[in-house]
Amino acid sequence: MPAAAPAPTAANTTSSGSGQTVCVTGAGGFIASWIVKLLLERGYTVRGTVRNPDDSKNSHLKELEGAEERLTLHKVDLLDLESVKAVINGCDGIIHTASPVTDNPEEMVEPAVNGAKNVIIAAAEAKVRRVVFTSSIGAVYMDPSRNIDEVVDESCWSNLEYCKNTKNWYCYGKAVAEQAAWDEAKARGVDLVVVNPVLVLGPLLQSTMNASTIHILKYLTGSA
Q: Do 125 and 85 form a contact (C-beta atoms < 8 A)?
A: yes
Is residue 194 helix, strand or coil? strand
175: nearest Cα among 200, 151, 194: 194
Q: Do 172 and 164 form a contact (C-beta atoms < 8 A)?
A: yes
Instruction: Give, in degrees to the nearest 5, the angle at Cα 126 between 95 and 68.
Output: 55
Is residue 214 helix, strand or coil? helix
Catalytic residue among 57, 127, 174, 218: 174
Q: How far is CA 110 from CA 34, 123, 170, 172, in A?
A: 27, 20, 11, 11
Other Cβ atoms within 10 Å of 178 Cβ, number? 25
What does the DSSP 8-state code read for residue 22? E
DSSP per-residue codes, 38-49: HHHHTT-EEEEE
Assess whether 174 carries a catalytic annotation. Answer: yes
For 5-8, which contacts have Cβ atoms below 8 Å and span 24 or more sequence positions? Answer: 8/38, 8/41, 8/42
Q: Which residues are catalytic?
A: 174
